[in-house]
Chains A and B, each alone.
Chain A
Amino acid sequence: MKLNIDGLLVYFPYDYIYPEQYSYMLELKRTLDAKGHGVLEMPSGTGKTISLLSLIVAYQKAFPLEVTKLIYCSRTVPEIEKVVEELRKLMEFYSKQTGESNNFLALALSSRKNLCIHPEVSALRFGKEVDGKCHSLTASYIRAQRHADPDQPVCRFYEEFDSVGRQVPLPAGIYNLDDLKDFGRRKGWCPYYLARYSILHANIVVYSYHYLLDPKIADLVSKELAKKSVVVFDEAHNIDNVCIDSMSVNITRRTLDRCQTNVDTLQNTIQNIKETDAVKLKQEYRRLVEGLKEANVARETDVYLANPVLPDEILQEAVPGTIRTAEHFVGFLRRFLEYLKSRLRVHHVVQESTPQFLKDIFDKVCIDRKPLRFCAERLQSLLRTLEIADIADFSAVTLISNFATLVSTYSQGFTIIIEPFEDRTPTIANPVLHFSCMDPSIAIKPVFQRFQSVIITSGTLSPLDIYPRILDFRPVTMASFTMTLARTCLCPLIVGRGNDQVALSSKFETREDFAVIRNYGNLLLEMSAVVPDGIVAFFTSYVYMENIVASWYEQGILENIQRNKLIFIETPDAAETSMALEKYQEACENGRGAILLSVARGKVSEGIDFVHHFGRAVIMFGVPYVYTQSRILKARLEYLRDQFQIRENDFLTFDAMRHAAQCVGRAIRGKTDYGLMIFADKRYARADKRGKLPRWIQEHINDGSLNLTVDEAVHLSKHFLRQMAQPFKQEDQLGLSLLTLEQLESEEMLQKIAQIAHQT
């Protein structure tokens, strides 16, 4: 259908539209008009992706000079592919309606592992291996060597792309990962480099967060993207953690050992080269004297994305003399390494700020701040000069040099924690140096500064106002949308007591309490008898789950549950978990019924959808607080309090509730779906917890279901499940939660729609 969104003609590829989609597009349009950033929350399964795509594409077509590019960031490869498929549908609709052939170029970009078509390289199993092998075939000096020695192995796809592909732009169309591979095979071009090259002139790019947020990758891939782009972060409820992870470094003794061998190899290679080709080293030296001027020029023209690792000041300076020659630099690395080793030999926990660390390193081994800052850049240069083919081997030394640069660059927002052992095993020495970023805004700041509009959206972003605070930006729109429903298809219940009136809670004091564990078991047992097909149960941590399951086994509860349903357990091992998931789905499919015990913040809670019968109920045992004794977390909380005036408790609750919402949200993936959401902890009934759930869940929690016993919950569930099993057809939704164009344009409906968006 064709919609009129605030004066903009939007083609929408479906015959029906949800009212909240319309409302969402209105808000989005406002954000784009204002050229600002937006935070939008809309429940999963209400067609967020297609609303985003159709509005932004329409905007691009209407104002080609205002918005030149859409950068759509998603989390996983399946999600990326889903977005591209939606886009394809939209474009087909466009060409059918307008009759013109499509002149849009949209493509997905992923790692080499997903795009490589080289017969040998693509057969490798791990991403790192593929990257390393690819590099060893396509690096510039390898190709240069080949001129002298034609027998060197080479990637013919890359060669072909390099000689022909760069001149011919990728024809307009929609390219998913497989389409790119097909195209590459047909032409004999490398799809990965083709995609990387083509994103510069593509209208729409779909890729992973990391290509924009992780400074190491962003520098390679995204730095030349145009300023007038719209950036969308989908499923962005965890974006702060992604930012922090991309800037944090963990160093163990093993890293240092591997680094030592790396440095030795470097030393040997330098020795060899010195004997054979001394000129090369001299050239490098001269280049370094010139400084990083080249990079500087590029930045001034405002084409590049600022790299948070390397601040502007550095680029204006030349590499300091102390590390300019190769031998000196290797010696420098050795000193730095020895220093780190000595720091890891501690017997008690040390926490210090970056200036403290720098002072200490200067006192002990006389390393100045300045050469440290150039460490990463200098290492890159050296590796290039030495023509080392397999970069993957040098990951340890790269990590250390990145650490050196980061630690000397930022005086704020980071902390260094050295732990001699893990908290759980105080007798086993396993020293770790955490260089931890506490401020997610550091990594994302260049994105906000650079791009015209950044949209952060997800099904669970409540409370909305916290994201702008921790990411340090000013949004022009913040809105939360509810799900309009023709029938109440979600049923959140807060179970606060067992049948024997024992308060249910996962809080630390009652964690080991037998009565609580028994009542939790009882809840699961009773639910397994009334809920059909699949139940997903989430625990707060692996340790807690192990304890409870062991206790249930002793009490014979597991045996009773197994009469009703099979039990599967998520483990930290990915292969085991995917096996369990597969069997779980099979059991749901053939009527045996199954329970999946998993962990909040685990793989299952984040990435796996349990549509329809795969998840008829989600039980959340306890409130998934993060492990509060962790020193990294404590440091971060302190930082948040000092810098952003966010109280520790607020942040912890916010973090726990967004994970709880993520977990229970797994069950409802659309309006025809239905599911129970059981919060088994009395603390959920408190206003401060409940108020932080997304609005679309909150509004279905009535006062009657705040502090239920197990029996009452079972009774309500039975009733709910019977109601939901009654026939439900599309006609029932029409006019209420599903609209045709005529219905949408009626005055009454437009008024209703205006109420859907909840502005904050």
Chain B
Amino acid sequence: MMDEEPERAKRWEGGYERTWEVLKEDESGSLKATVEEILFQSKRKRVIENYGKVRLGMMRHLYVVVDCSRSMDDHDLKPNRLTSTLKLMEAFVEEYFDQNPISQLGIITTKNKRAEKLTDLAGNPKKHTAALKKAVDTVCVGEPSLYNSLNLSIQTLKHMPGHTSREILIILSSLTTCDPANICELIKTLKSLKVRVSVIGLSAEVRVCTVLTRETGGSYHVILDESHFKELLMLHVRPPPVSSSSECSLIRMGFPQHIIASLTDQDAKPSFSMSQLDSNSSEAALTLGGYFCPQCHTKYTELPVECKVCGLTLVSAPHLARSFHHLFPLQAFTESPTEELQEDRFCQACQGELKDKSIFSCPSCGSAFCVECDFFIHDSLHCCPGCIHSQTAP
């Protein structure tokens, strides 16, 4: 159809769609400055929600429910909602395990009034990404069922120990849900089980989700376009604060060393990993090295994992260290105009010239950074290079 085409083309520029409302001409009558300003702001727009001194649920058990109903065929995300969602999910899974190494994740799909488990709760990103890749070909039919998917997740989540955080994240595209029973009862159950349910809506605000998230203490967002979708999804990477009423306890953990028997050692015998024995034998291979549980000496090739034999949580020390930054997040850098900077105008991190209007400086050591590096430091490094530098070189 003729008039469809220009409409489609506009969607490409999703992020800028409303910019004319904020456009202002500068003295020379050019719009360039404001456009740059908008770009800059969108870069800067980062969620610096400082929780302050709260306890975070570091051990997370998260079920992601992906809607696979008819409405996922919609083409408003390219190439369609399902493919786009699954792709973003892959990135999310990676990021999730990167930031929360001692947590677990499972994926549930819902379509045709039913809910099915795509993957069980597990700490291995590979399995999830493989499953997600496979799911691209799913046929999207029927209506989703919120009730069934929540119920299915509860079945597993309710057996999780009380000190862990139980979460469900629903990616809902449909505006309707087909439930076998009253969902309000289920919401009460969720509340009593302290399961936090968050929803990302792909089309519009649905009342039942508002209630669901409000009651269970989760968050509810609706996407504007694909980049916003990604942003919202990444919000869920950060561990949420736990309610004060949740249990806390000391957990026994094992820190197995990775031991590789040298080939020259005659006594060394190749062996299977416990985790591979369970799954399809096609991947199972005899290896020489691995992680051995300090309690029962079962061998695993990957961490973190819960020992199949003695039930001990096995993690590696770097894993724990990596989740550490959530507890003591790096302070937000202060923004100031570039003109105020007295010294030479170079970024302390990338050594590039500071050309933007404003710079960002660390409140504790005072080093100046460009916006790109500020981004990188807060998102990936989680520590200020300037501070580290001053610590190590007195």
Which residue numbers of A lie inside 8 Å of B, CB to CB? Answer: 499, 529-533, 563-565, 588-593, 612-613, 616, 709, 711-712, 715, 718, 721-727
Contact = CB atoms under 8 A, between A and B. Distances in A.
**For B71, B176, B210, which residue has the most chain A Cβ atoms within 10 angstroms?**
B176
A502 to B, nearest CB: 14
A530 B176 CA distance: 10
Interface of B: 1, 3-4, 7, 70-71, 76, 143, 146, 175-179, 182-184, 201, 203-210, 221-224
Nearest to B4: A711
**For A499, A590, A592, which residue has the most chain B Cβ atoms within 10 angstroms?**
A590
Given A722-B222, A722-B223, A726-B224, A591 B206 contact: yes
9 contacts: A499-B1, A532-B206, A591-B206, A591-B209, A592-B179, A712-B3, A718-B203, A724-B205, A725-B201
A579 B351 CA distance: 71
A501 to B, nearest CB: 10
A725 B183 CA distance: 22
Given A532-B203, A591-B176, A613-B210, 14 more contacts: A529-B175, A530-B175, A530-B204, A531-B175, A590-B184, A591-B209, A592-B178, A613-B207, A711-B1, A712-B7, A715-B7, A722-B204, A725-B201, A725-B205
B224 A591 contact: no
Contacts of B208: 589-591
A721 B7 contact: no
**For B3, B7, B183, B204, which residue has the most chain A Cβ atoms within 10 angstroms?**
B204
B106 to A, nearest CB: 23
A590 B71 contact: no
Nearest to A588: B207
Contacts of A612: 207
Contacts of A616: 204
A718 B201 contact: no
B179 A590 contact: yes
A722 B74 CA distance: 15
B71 A721 contact: no
Given A722-B222, A723-B224, A590 B204 contact: no
A244 to B, nearest CB: 40
B359 to A, nearest CB: 28
Contacts of A564: 175-176
A303 B76 CA distance: 70
A709 B179 contact: no
Contacts of A531: 175, 204
Contacts of B71: 529
Nearest to A719: B17
B204 A591 contact: no
A533 B4 CA distance: 27
A588 B182 CA distance: 13
**For A709, A725, A726, which residue has the most chain B Cβ atoms within 10 angstroms?**
A725
B176 A592 contact: yes
B3 A709 contact: yes
Contact of B177 (A591, A711, A723): A591
B203 to A, nearest CB: 6
A683 B390 CA distance: 74
A496 to B, nearest CB: 14
A588 B221 CA distance: 19
A138 B3 CA distance: 74
Contacts of B203: 530, 532, 718, 721-722
A712 to B, nearest CB: 7
A266 B81 CA distance: 79
Contact of A565 (B176, B209, B224): B176
Contacts of B201: 725
B143 A563 contact: yes
A722 B225 CA distance: 9
Contacts of B7: 712, 715
Nearest to A499: B1
B352 to A, nearest CB: 35
A700 B176 CA distance: 29
A313 B3 CA distance: 72
Interchain residue pairs A-B with the least CB separation, the first 9: A591-B208, A725-B222, A613-B207, A725-B205, A721-B204, A532-B204, A532-B175, A591-B177, A532-B206
A532 B71 CA distance: 13
B176 A593 contact: yes
A721 B206 CA distance: 10
Nearest to A727: B221
Contact of A592 (B3, B177, B184): B177
A395 B286 CA distance: 100
A609 to B, nearest CB: 16
Nearest to B203: A530
Nearest to B175: A532
A709 B201 CA distance: 26
A499 B3 CA distance: 10
Contacts of A563: 70, 143
Contacts of A588: 207
A623 to B, nearest CB: 25
**For B76, B183, B207, which residue has the most chain A Cβ atoms within 10 angstroms?**
B207
Contacts of A590: 177, 179, 182-184, 208
B199 to A, nearest CB: 11
A591 B143 CA distance: 12
A92 B353 CA distance: 64
A711 B183 CA distance: 33
Contacts of A722: 203-204, 222-224
B39 to A, nearest CB: 20
A721 B203 CA distance: 8
A613 B70 CA distance: 23
**For A532, A565, A592, A612, which residue has the most chain B Cβ atoms within 10 angstroms?**
A532
A712 B8 CA distance: 11
A588 B222 CA distance: 18
A626 B197 CA distance: 50
Contact of B179 (A499, A591, A726): A591
A533 B177 CA distance: 10
A616 B206 CA distance: 10
A529 B203 CA distance: 10
Contacts of A725: 201, 204-205, 221-222
B354 to A, nearest CB: 33
A591 B176 CA distance: 6
A709 B71 CA distance: 22
A724 B201 CA distance: 12
Nearest to B207: A613
Contacts of B1: 499, 711
Contact of A532 (B183, B205, B221): B205
A530 B202 CA distance: 11
A319 to B, nearest CB: 65
Nearest to B206: A532
A533 B179 CA distance: 15
B222 A533 contact: no
A709 B1 CA distance: 12
Contacts of A715: 7
Contacts of A726: 222, 224
A533 B182 contact: no
Contacts of B222: 722, 725-726
Given A592-B177, A726-B222, A533 B207 contact: yes
A591 B207 contact: yes
Contacts of A727: 221
Nearest to B7: A715
A499 B224 CA distance: 26
A613 B207 CA distance: 6
